[in-house]
Structure 1
Amino acid sequence: MKKLICIVLVTITSIANAQSILPQSATDIAPLLIGEKVPNTVLKSSDNSDVKIVDEIKKKKTVLVFYRGGWCPYCNQHLAALAEAEQQILDLGYQIIAISPDSPENLKITEEKDKVKYTLLSDSKGELAKAFGIVFEAPENYKPIINVHSKGENKTFLPVPSVFVLNKESEIEFEFITPDFKHRITNDLLIAVLKTLK
């Protein structure tokens, strides 16, 4: 009996450890697929309020953007480009929500710097990004940066830059995931996709 209990405990521990191990590179991730639903997770707004992501998605069809952080120049370019296309996106019946591991305080800095009016949310523990299957072990040279920008909440992971288009039932209708963080979806392609889905 003791031997059986020991085997069960070892098995449970092994499964738990396997689930907590992050993919080693951006190309090793296993993201959610089109048709799957967004898990309900509580994130933080730039004013440090709790936000249930599924409640926000119920309000309006959503362009959900995951970015590495306000410290990343490629992310800032992408956020600024989305700000330029925001009115077109709104006119097509969508809202934009962008999520990073940055702390709420750092979201405010990004809002001002990139002239962002759409919603930025903090996923500093990576709960939503992990549930989406888009996180990986950050290279060592990034760990001090992500630690500072998440106010110590994130010391290990980076999200792969991604764009998901969601209906109000939180189902994924389109996704664009770019393991090479220097490449992002263009506004022209995103607008074309939204027009097709409409």
Structure 2
Amino acid sequence: MRFHALEVVALEFAEEREQLAAAGVPTGVAGPHTELADAELLDAHGRPTTLHEALAGRPAVVVFYRGAWCPYCNLTLRTYQAELADALKQRGAALVAISSQKTDGSLSMQETNELTFTVLSDPGNTLAGRLGILTEPTDGAKASQAALGLDVAAVNADGTAVIPMPTAVITDAAGTIRWVDVHPDYVTRSEPAEILAAYDAAL
């Protein structure tokens, strides 16, 4: 029975990914030459901050991820720590990761993966909503998550299961978007080399 239950869980996640991939990038996603406006956020210790404070007038790579509960997000941010953080620092750029989870999830993400870059919480999905990258797990995926002991709404700061699609955004020092890469299929992510190439081409 246990094996059958795991098969059902895997099937639900596979179906969700197929649906997301088929739908593709949402229409209306903010593109280059638009502003990534400021927003009130929380740092990993629950202190109020803003995007502008975090970027401190620097060009930046802003990464939106689903949450500390997502294994693909953990792998991605560890990879960014190893292969992207220093390269951006050498370029005078900031690297910031943002999710809709509560601040204890941000702290867990930062400490567990030994991240030296800034990890923030966007409690109401303000930034992700402006970008147009919001999504929500399907009912089948929610049931499968529950079977694994996960309730996304319970770990999100706003009490909903709405999350951002994995997205990397490059902004210049004025906060203008220069490049956006959205991944509806959350298993795939922007590769560090791809981000650096886009950064060097745009700035």
In the superposition, the TM-score normalised over structure 1's length comes to 0.81
Indicate if the aligned counterparts of 1:83 and 1:117 stay in contact, CA closer than 8 A.
yes
Indicate if the aligned counterparts of 2:25 and 2:182 stay in contact, CA closer than 8 A.
no
Across the aligned residues of Structure 1 and Structure 2, the Cα RMSD in angstroms comes to 1.9
What secondary structure sits across from 1:155 in the alignment?
Answer: coil
Q: Which residue in 1 is equivalent to 2:156?
A: 150
Larger Rg: 1
Q: Deviation at 1:185?
A: 1.1
Task: Note the residue ranges of structure 1 that are not aligned, 5 or more in a row.
Answer: 1-23
Report the AA paired with residue 34 of structure 2: E
Report the AA paired with residue 94 of structure 2: Q
Is 2:128 the partner of 1:129? Answer: yes
| Count of residues in correspondence between the two structures | 174
Q: Deviation at 1:28?
A: 6.0
Q: Which residue in 1 is equivalent to 2:9?
A: none
Off by >6 Å, runs of 4+ in structure 1:
none
Is 2:194 the partner of 1:196? Answer: no
Find the partner of 1:62 among 57, 60, 63.
60
Cα offsets for 1:117-155 (capped at 9, x unmatched): 10001013211111111102332315852222225x232
Report the AA paired with residue 149 of structure 1: V
Q: Which residue in 2 is equivalent to 1:167?
A: 172
Is 2:183 the partner of 1:178? Answer: yes
Q: How far apart, in 1, do the equivalents of 2:29 and 2:46 lie?
A: 28
What secondary structure sits across from 1:90 in the alignment?
Answer: helix
The 5-angstrom pairing of residues 44-83 of structure 1 reads 44-83=42-81
Q: How far apart, in 2, do the equivalents of 1:56 and 1:109 lie?
A: 19
Q: How far apart, in 2, do the equivalents of 1:165 and 1:154 lie?
A: 29
Cα offsets for 1:40-80 (capped at 9, x unmatched): 21011011111111333342111000000010011111100
Identity of aligned residues (%): 21
Structure-2 change in CA distance of 1:158 and 1:113 (3 Å): same
Q: How far apart, in 2, do the equivalents of 1:185 and 1:118 lie?
A: 17
Structure-2 change in CA distance of 1:169 and 1:103 (3 Å): same
Q: How far apart, in 1, do the equivalents of 2:88 and 2:112 lie?
A: 21
Report the AA paired with residue 92 of structure 2: G
Task: Note the residue ranges of structure 2 that are not aligned, 5 or more in a row.
Answer: 1-18
Q: How far apart, in 2, do the equivalents of 1:58 and 1:170 lie?
A: 10
